[in-house]
Each structure stands twice: as structure tokens, then as C-alpha cells.
Chain A
Amino acid sequence: MIDLNLLTDGGVGWLDASGPSSHLVLSTRIRLARNLSSHVYQGRNSETEREEILQSVERAVRESVLLRRPTRYRLDRLDRIDRQLLHERHLVSKELAGLEAEGRVRSGASVLIQDRIGVMLNEEDHLRIQGLHSGFALDETYAEVDRLDTELGQRLAFAFHPEFGYLTSCPTNVGTGLRASVLIHLPGLVLTKEISKVLQGLAQVGLTHRGLYGEGSEVVGNFFQLSNQTTLGSSERELLDHLGKMVRQVMDYEEQARQVLVRDAPTVIEDKVWRAYGLLRYARSLSFEEAMNLLSGVRLGVGVGLIPDVAMYTLNKLLIYTQPAHLAVAEGISPDDADLPLRRARFVRKVLESEVGRRG
């Protein structure tokens, strides 16, 4: 069993709802894809080469300021449940954790984490430098990621082409190698059925949306990850400014949709959010998806001021700790155990009871 307590805040500092606009935006993530010019890419390299990559990056990391004392997890030496745990905390990708449908964890697959930044190693690219912040914080996140990239770039030889920029295993990431994602909660737009229009609009301006866990994941609990689609032909600054501007616009639309709901259908919305709260508070069995959807309802209720006394932090915590691997570990059972929905409902009841008081 891995010890996630080795991480500052258990690696869930981004959940604390302390960042800007955290009533709408859960987290901001930025990653830079980099490869070493000395080695062939992941699809064609050998176990020995992946070890070499690991060693040279670890050497560079030790000399850095930002990632001097990282917590290190070798995913290839972890059980599936531990890999799932790291993935559920949004610290590693599904691919690195070897959790894809036919995926296996690759030898050398590792992650180095210190506070809000880290590096995934032997992922699709040799390095994925990443930063994760609470709330809507593109500038703060990029500043750290950029600094780490500079530090590592001085100690490692990155593959760089004068015209194409940073070279990546997949041409969709070439150029800046930058993907910035904002995890945003949009129940107002979903309820007013405006969401597809908004998502279409975003696609037209070069942004893309994904589900809670990034690439290839389903949208659950009205959480959307909005990110830049292209990585080449614009500077990092332009990509971030564009995404930031569009996210701010989506936030405005969401606020407007919520106002419309409260103004035009006050009883419907009030019933909906309290019903969600009631179910979470008293249900005896909850699937993960149901829990996510109910948490979304309560979050909306808190956001529009209908449900007092529930902290965003409590809701964020429930979002993470009701996931299959987290719950299974906490309860000491297998994530496939048929009892999981019962345990989930009990866990949610307990948290709400102790953190919300008796006014619900």
C-alpha cells in the first residue's frame, strides 16, 4: 500500500477550494510535454532506455530548486489499487497508471511530485511537466510549470525543432507541448439546456472539453474540463490568455443561467437541490455516478445560496473520497466489492453529519 501522506496535503491541496472562483472552478491544470533528444519515443524504446530516462531526469530534478525533494512513485511497482488511487487524485494520467481498457502499466512509469507541481515520466512522452492549482489560476500554475521547465531544460537536452518547436510523440502536442485545463462545474448551463451550444461555441474557438478525468473520460456530475486544443502556432501566453478569456465567458454564462433558474423556476430549483441534499444525507446505497450527480445538485444549491452551512471544501472532499479506489482503501475492501454502494452512502452520511451540523 502506498503512503499518500508523504505528499503535502496528501496531494489534494488543489481540493481546498481556496483558489480564485472556486465555487465554479475546482482546479486548474497545466502540462508541458517534453522528450529527451537522446532517446527514441516511448512506443519504440526498451526497458533499459526507460530506466536511463528515469535516471537522467531524477538527476536533473535533484539539482532543481522547485522539485528538489519530490515524493516519488514508481507506478510499475504499485498494485492496481494504488495506481487507481493516484489517478483518482488527478496526480497521474490514466495511461501512466495503466488503467486504460487494454492498458498495462509500462516499465519505468513514474511520477515525481512536490507540492503543486510534478513530472510524469515514461508517459506518452518522456516527460510531462505538470502543475495543479485550486480554483481558476492559469497564471499562477503556468508560472510554476514554466520555471520547472526552464530548470529541467538547463540540465536535460530536450527535443526541439526550429520550425515545429518541442517535439512530441503525438503531433497533436507538438510546438509548445502545452495543455491547460480548467475543471469547471456547469449545472446551470446543463439544466437550462444551454450547454451544448456553449460547448459547440468553444469548439469553434479552438477549445475542447472532456470529463472529470481528462482525455477519454465521461462527463459526470456536470464537471467539464475545458482546455486548448492546439499547441502549435500560438505562444504559451496566447494559448493561456485565449483559454482564460473563454473560461471567464463560460463562467458568466453559468452565473446567468443560475440567475434565470432562480428567477424563473425558484420552487423547482429549490426542490431539486434539497432533494439532492436529502438523498446524500439519508440514502443507504449510492453508486459513484449517483453520488456525483447529487453532489453536483448540492454544490449548485450552495452556489446560489439556497443551502447554507455546507463548505465547498466538504463537497470537494466527498468528490474525491467517494471514488471507488479511495472508498475501497478507506473501508478496507476491494473496489469490486458489492458492498461498495452501501459503504459509500454511509461514508457520505458520516461526513455530512459531522461537517454540516444539524441545521440541514
Chain B
Amino acid sequence: MSCDQCREREAVVHLTQIVNEQVTTLHLCEKCAADKGVESPGSAVKTPLGTFLAAMGKGVDQLPTPRTGEACRCGATFQDFRESGRLGCSDCYRTFETPLRDLLRRLHGSTHHLGERYAERETERVPEPEVAMVPPEASHLREQLRLAVETENFELAAELRDRLRVLE
């Protein structure tokens, strides 16, 4: 059977999707499947521990390994992660980005977070329009700045400080 996508290569991945209660099956070659972000059959075992162990054990060995001994700021090496299954800090996701990206694709079938975004929430809590419409007195801003510093809302504080600079 040839690939539904390129119609050239042999289809090796058979992807059954259920969209709006409709079942469709796509027959794809390895390359087109990879382009669509679909895993090849070998990694299709989907038990939580199974997938993870497969990725940690066999899978991880096939991952591009960062230069030997390269350590993250927190001191963790990729070897540490292989042994414990746990990362050392948030920076590890940047230090070991290449092999981790590969691992995430194996574990989750994707590397893209599609859920709630934390940064958006941060902007939500700094309402701008009202202040932009009617520039408040510098004293009012200073009071707001004091409150922001007190409540450790440093981002708001930084913004207020900048606005004060403009006013003054």
C-alpha cells in the first residue's frame, strides 16, 4: 500500500483518528508520518511506565547525547537524568533541550504545550487601559509602587517605576 500523503513510498504507519465521532484511517510512509509528528510503530507501546522505561532505557540511548559531561547550571548532567529519570532544575530543559525534545515527542507524541499559558496570566493581572486613558498623579503612582513592592509584585513595580520616570 502506498502512502496517502506522497503516494510514492510504502505506507508503514496506519493512523486511526476519531474526529467528531468519525473514524478515519491514514496510511503513511515513515517520512510523511514523521512530518505529521506521528510516532513510528516501534514506539507505539503506550503504557505509562512502559513508554517511559522504553524511552529511558532503549530510547534514550538512541537520542542525540549532549557533549560528554556537559552539566547544567544546577550541576546535573544528562547521565544523572538517565539514571534518576528526574531533572535538576528548570534550566535543564534548555541545557539538554535537543535530547529532551526527542524524549518529549516519544512520551507525549508532541513537544508543544497547548494548555493554559502562564505568561498570559501575568499580563492579565496588570490591567493597563484605565491608567493609560487618564494619566494619574505621580503621587498616586508612587503609592501604587509602594504597595506593589510591599506585596512583592515586582513586575507591576517595574512598570510603575518606568511610568513614574516618564511623568517626572
**99-113 of chain B: CB within 8 A of chain A:** 100, 103-104, 107-113
B89 pairs with A44, CB closer than 8 A = yes
A230 pairs with B107, CB closer than 8 A = yes
A43 pairs with B84, CB closer than 8 A = yes
B48 pairs with A172, CB closer than 8 A = yes
B35 to chain A, nearest CB (A): 16
Residue in A146, A174, A239 with the greatest tally of chain B CB atoms within 10 Å: A174
Contacts of B46 on A, CB cut-off 8 Å? 203-204, 206, 229
Q: Determine the residue in chain A with the shortest Cβ distance to B155.
A: A157
**216-247 of chain A: CB within 8 A of chain B:** 229-236, 238-239
**249-300 of chain A: CB within 8 A of chain B:** none
From B74, B116, B118, B125, contact of A40 by CB (8 A): B74
Q: Determine the residue in chain B with the shortest Cβ distance to A153.
A: B121
B4 to chain A, nearest CB (A): 21
Instruction: Tell me the complex Cα distance, A44–B75, Å.
Output: 9
B116 pairs with A164, CB closer than 8 A = no
A236 pairs with B87, CB closer than 8 A = no
Q: A158-B118, A160-B118, A171-B100 are in contact. Are A43 and B88 (CB under 8 A)?
A: yes
Residue in B47, B109, B113, B121 with the greatest tally of chain A CB atoms within 10 Å: B113
Q: Taking the complex as formed, is A41 at the interface, i.e. its CB lies under 8 A from any CB of chain B?
A: yes
Q: A43-B84, A169-B86 are in contact. Are A230 and B108 (CB under 8 A)?
A: yes
From B86, B100, B107, B125, contact of A41 by CB (8 A): B86
From B48, B75, B93, contact of A167 by CB (8 A): B93
Instruction: Tell me the complex Cα distance, A175–B112, Å.
Output: 8
Partner-A contacts on B (CB < 8 A): 46-48, 51-52, 74-76, 84-90, 93, 100, 103-104, 107-119, 121-122, 125
